[in-house]
Amino acid sequence: MRISSPAFFVGLAFPALVWGADTEVTFSRDIAPLLQQRCVECHRDGGGAPFSLESYRDASRRASTILRVVEDRYMPPWHAIGGDIPLEGDRQLMPAQIELFRAWVEGGKAEGDPSDLPAPRQFVEGWQLGEPDLVIKMAEAYSLPADGPDIYRNFVVPTGLTQERFLRAVEFRPGSAEVVHHALLFVEGTDKARKADAEDEEPGFGEMPIDAAGGRQIGGWVPGARTRPLPEGLSHRIPAGADIVIQTHFHLSGKPESEQSTIGLYFTDEPPEREFAAIQIPPLFGAFSGIDLKPGEERAEIHDSFELPVPVHAFGAHAHAHYRGKSLRMVAKLPSGESLKLLNIPDWDMNWQEDYRFTEQVFLPAGTRLEVDVAWDNSAESTDNPVVPPVRVRWGFESLDEMGSIDLFVVPTGDQKIASNSMKTLQRAYRQHLVWCAGEHVLRPDKLAIFGDLRRKAIERFDRNEDGFLGFEERKTASAFLKRSTIKD
């Protein structure tokens, strides 16, 4: 995958960088187009950010602040940096664009000729994909105080569906964009979320059970988010009677607010042409990966990998950790020896959990090993640590516990029949991987005492290529071995 030189595009978009150092950088000609491309989705009236950057007056008043946050790469918010696969909606600034801001500020913040201003960017009013097929809303508003720590809250919204439907897109609309920092949407086909809601006196429930009730994530929202349908031929199956669970992160605004979110669902009449899968590594958000952060530990890490038994096309990824998450990375090691960094988040921020979509689907042949590394910082020096002095932290559903994993969204290749069989093979291999990771948590009690020895001897016996892991074929052989309760040396 080859990408043209970014300098060429910068030259087209920002002529001052081409004309030379003596050319005055102005707001109208140089800065306004950059703000429109990268900032005003949020920094506009009604956009969710605390102030607008649509006019010269707006931007010049905050010029020093803008320069500082773009130099620190705090803004625009974009945390997937340094990967090998281009991502849709990439908001990060190139070094030349940051230098353009610097030149404007240090050059006196010239306004320039207003006739050079680009046409105001137009934003879709109402639903981004047109009127949804079904609109559902929280039954009652949730009241928020003026001040205090951030709040995570889950809300159950019944769909009222009387038959299975096929979902191709979902749009979330906050009632108060000023206080909703982000939201994640899950489809839930059991009554677990409803029971949790009923046990809480206020609307919703307060714990943080990401996918705990077996729900599948179907979407999310951050300020400036664009509603995107799934790739052609793909859809989520929504069971009759299912609920949508909204997990909302609130950042209080300084005045009392209330939130009553609305969701728009877009269906297709056609069942999915093929299934897609979310391969989560490590499984269950790292539940069986030994997450155990010592008090004051500056860098705790886990590693997990999974070998694809079938060829797939990957179309996106999603990372998850809690407050102390430091970095997450997924690398695909192809059978050819080539490595592709599919997703790299060197500076995790729990407040910006995004679904990343590849600009083009990525082919991964059978035998590709997906390797994931997750790191946490539990030191007192970490500004993201919610508990100081630090305490021991292990895996758990609450925001003060920890998790860590990356989901890769894939579609098996081939015609419909081949892809269907490949999906079964993929699911079977992933279940084996889950059992392998779960170990003592899923084996029968009579096997618990010898599981560690079984695992060690299985690797010694069946790791034919001596890479320290069991690939798919090696794992199939080892699987039968692990089912025996005794070992014959």
**pLDDT tens string 415-440:** 878 888 999 999 999 988 887 787 64
User: Whats the size of the chain, residue-wise?
Assistant: 489
**387-401 mean pLDDT:** 88
Q: How many CA atoms lie within 13 A of 225 on its CB side?
A: 26
Report cis status (omega within 30 of 0) of the bond before 282.
yes
CA–CA distance, 27 with 14 (Å, rounded to integer) = 11
Contact assessment for residue 319 and residue 353, using Cβ atoms and an 8 Å cutoff: yes
CB atoms near residue 6 (< 10 Å) = 12
Nearest C-alpha neighbor of 92 from the set 67, 66, 74: 74
Distance CA 401, CA 322 (A): 7
Among 164, 249, 221, 154, residue whose Cα is nearest residue 193: 154
Rounded Cα–Cα distance for residues 94 and 6 (Å): 8
Percent of the chain with pLDDT over 70: 84
d(CA 329, CA 304): 11
pLDDT single digits (tens) 32-87:
999 988 898 889 887 767 889 999 999 999 999 999 999 988 898 889 988 999 99
DSSP code string of 342-361: EEEESS--TT---EEEEEEE
* Cβ neighbours around 230 below 10 Å, total: 23
Q: What is the pLDDT of residue 451?
A: 52
* Number of neighbouring beta carbons within 10 Å of residue 190: 13
Whether 397 has a pLDDT exceeding 50, the answer reads yes
- For residue 270, give the DSSP letter: S
The sign of the dihedral angle between the CA atoms of 229, 232, 234, 240 is positive
Q: Tell me, what's the pLDDT at 21? A: 52
pLDDT at position 441: 47
Residue 240 has pLDDT above 50, yes or no: yes
∠ CA 478-309-338 to the nearest 5 degrees? 110
- From CA 194, how far away is CA 408, in angstroms rounded? 29
Q: Which of 11, 128, 108, 12 has the alpha carbon at shortest distance from 63?
A: 108
How many whole angstroms separate alpha carbon 304 and alpha carbon 426?
A: 17
- Please compute the mean of the pLDDT values over residues 323-352 and round it to a whole number: 95
Q: Write down the residue that tokens 């680009």 correspond to.
A: 118
| pLDDT of the residue at 308 | 97
CA distance 291 to 286: 7
Residue 100: Cβ within 10 Å count? 22
Phi, psi at 405, each rounded to 5°: -170, 165
Per-residue confidence at 489, pLDDT binned at 50, 70, 90?
very low
CA-nearest of 351, 132, 130, 120 to 220 is 351
* pLDDT at position 97 over 70: yes
Residue 78 and residue 352: Cα distance in Å, rounded? 8
The DSSP element (H or E) to which 433 belongs, if any, is helix 416-438
Give the separation between CA 391 and CA 413, rounded to whole angstroms. Answer: 46
| Distance (Å) of CA 153 to CA 139, 145, 156, 204 | 15, 14, 10, 6
Per-residue pLDDT of 339-379, as tens digits, reads 999 999 999 988 787 889 999 999 999 999 999 999 999 99
Can you name the residues that pair with 411 across neighbouring β-strands?
313
Among 398, 182, 350, 168, smallest CA distance to 264 is for: 168
Higher pLDDT, 86 or 398: 86
What gap in Å lies between CA 53 and CA 451, rounded to an integer? 60
Range with the poorest average pLDDT among 121-125, 132-136, 250-254: 121-125
Per DSSP, 237 falls in state E
The pLDDT, as a whole number, for residue 273 is 86
CA distance 247 to 210: 8
Q: Is 291 helix (H, G, I), strand (E, B) or coil?
A: coil
User: According to the model, what pLDDT value does residue 235 have?
Assistant: 93
- Residue 288 is given by DSSP the state T
- Taken in order 214, 215, 217, 220, is the CA torsion positive or negative? negative
3-class secondary-structure state, position 30: helix
To which H or E segment does residue 283 belong?
A: none
CA distance 169 to 455: 43
pLDDT band, very low/low/confident/very high, at 469 (cuts 50, 70, 90):
low
39 in Cβ contact with 45 (< 8 Å): no
Tokens of 12: 């087209």
Give the chain's domains with CATH numbers. Answer: 6-116 (no CATH), 134-268 (2.60.120.230), 277-414 (2.60.120.230), 443-483 (no CATH)
Q: Has residue 9 got a pLDDT over 60?
A: no
What is the CB neighbour count within 10 angstroms for residue 443?
Answer: 17
